[in-house]
């Protein structure tokens, strides 16, 4: 864990080296939505479909060159879970704030398509509510989740872009009850300025 944190810190602190001799590159703002969530099968079944685990993300990024960027982001995720054995319905809410380092291929040839990967560290607050009993909070935990992701980017022109990505956690600190697996897909639209 310490090695991972050291590698992330080194990458973020060395960003002026990546930006050397590059012109001013645009910052960007983005909104995302998807199905990134914890696997909570120990508590019951997701309520009906993948749409029972929505996530919403808002972020701000800084390009250091066409291949390296850093983002700050806030993500909200909710799991709706039905436990038929106990006869309960649960809502699990997650609030995350953190930083991502992104590496990109840049546009592939003469196309507006690029490939990218990300490494993120997210401070996470997780709350569990029993909705069958007037949404009483029954558990909460806080910790840090480290995840990796990758996907496709599309430069739509006029300083807009679209990204589709898959995110998967590989480590956590501080989660005893909630954490099993954290993964999902996200679609984001962004604007450079």
**Cα–Cα dist 99/11, whole Å:** 12
What does the pLDDT read at residue 2? Answer: 52
Confidence check: pLDDT of 107 > 50:
yes
The winner for highest mean pLDDT among 117-121, 169-173, 180-184 is 117-121
What does the pLDDT read at residue 109? Answer: 95
Give me the CATH topology for the region 2-192. Answer: Porin (2.40.160)
Q: Which three-class secondary structure state does DSSP give residue 54?
A: coil
Structure confidence at residue 180 as a pLDDT band (50, 70, 90)? low
Domain boundaries, the chain: 2-192
pTM equals 0.81
Structure confidence at residue 98 as a pLDDT band (50, 70, 90)? very high
Instruction: Report the mean per-residue pLDDT for the chain.
Output: 84
**How are beta strands 136-157 and 160-173 bridged, if at all?**
antiparallel
């Amino acid at each position: 864990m310490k090695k991972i944190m050291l590698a992330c810190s080194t990458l973020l602190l060395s960003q002026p080296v990546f930006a050397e001799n590059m012109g001013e590159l645009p910052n960007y703002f983005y909104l995302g939505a998807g199905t990134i969530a914890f696997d909570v099968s120990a508590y019951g079944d997701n309520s009906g479909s993948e749409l029972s685990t929505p996530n919403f993300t808002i972020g701000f990024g800084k390009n250091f060159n066409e291949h390296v960027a850093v983002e700050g982001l806030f993500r909200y995720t909710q799991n709706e879970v039905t436990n038929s054995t106990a006869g309960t319905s649960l809502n699990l809410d997650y609030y995350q704030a953190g930083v991502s380092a992104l590496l990109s291929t840049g546009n592939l040839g003469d196309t507006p398509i690029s490939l990218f990967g990300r490494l993120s560290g997210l401070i996470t607050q997780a709350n569990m509510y029993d909705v069958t009993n007037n949404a009483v909070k029954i558990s909460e935990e806080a910790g840090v989740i480290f995840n990796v992701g990758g996907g496709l980017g599309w430069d739509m022109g006029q300083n807009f872009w679209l990204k589709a990505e898959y995110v998967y956690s590989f480590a956590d600190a501080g989660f005893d009850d909630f954490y099993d697996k954290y993964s999902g897909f996200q679609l984001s639209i962004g604007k450079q300025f």
